[in-house]
Amino acid sequence: MSPDLLTAVTIFTLSLLVGVEVISKVPATLHTPLMSGANAIHGVVLVGALYVAASAHDAVGYVVAFLAVAFGAANVVGGYVVTDRMLGMFRSRRAPEG
């Protein structure tokens, strides 16, 4: 599954360009939710942390894995929940108050 270096660099470069394209279209009004949403996306580091936990076999490995999984999970859960909470506050003029 692991891509060779050239493929990986290609993916990285194209993803950067896609990111620049998509994110330049986000209005300034939403920059805070954008940042916390992007924050949640980098929580995908949790996937890597899970693999690390799966291959850990000694005390140091377990400690590192625990920290990485906990950090990653906090990042994912907290990031998405707070972004949703913020976006829920952005109401249109016509929407009922709540």
Partner 1 sequence: MDTLVGYVMLAAAACFVLGLHLMNHPATARAGNLLSAGAMGAAVLGAGVVIVRDATITATGWLVLVAGAATGSAAGFYAARSVRMTAMPQLVSLFNAVGGGAAALLAVSDLIGPGEALTVRVGVPAAVDIAIGAVTFTGSLLAAAKLQGMVSGAPVVFAGSRVVNAALGVTMLGAGAWLAVAPDSAVALALLAAAALAFGVTMVLPIGGADMPVVISLLNAFTGTAVAMAGFVLGETVLIIAGALVGASGGILTKLMADAMNRSIPNIIVGGFGTGADAPTAGAAGGPVRAVTADDVAIQLAYAAKVVVVPGYGLAAAQAQHEMAALADVLTAHGVEVTYAVHPVAGRMPGHMNVLLAEANVPYEQLLDMDEANPEFTRADVALVVGANDVTNPAARRPGNAISGMPILNVDHARTVVVIKRSMGHGYAGLDNELYTRPATGMYFADAKKGLAALAAAVRTFVS
Query: Binding of partner 1 at residue 79 (CB under 8 A)?
Result: yes
Asked if 36 contacts 82 with a C-beta cutoff of 8 angstroms, the reply is yes
Question: Which residues 43-62 are close enough to bind partner 1 by CB under 8 A?
Answer: 43-57, 60-62
Number of chain positions touching partner 1 (CB under 8 A): 85
Nearest-approach distance from CB 42 to partner 1, in angstroms: 4
Q: Do residues 68 and 55 lie in contact, with contact meaning Cβ atoms separated by under 8 Å?
A: no
- Rule CB under 8 A: say whether 27 interacts with partner 1: yes
Least distance in angstroms from the C-beta of 14 to partner 1: 8
Residue with tokens 């894995």: 65
Tokens representing residue 14 in the block? 């194209």
- Least separation in angstroms between CB 9 and partner 1: 8
Q: Quick check: 6 binds partner 1 (CB under 8 A)?
A: no
Inter-CA distances, 81 with 5, 7, 35, 48, 85, Å: 35, 34, 13, 21, 6
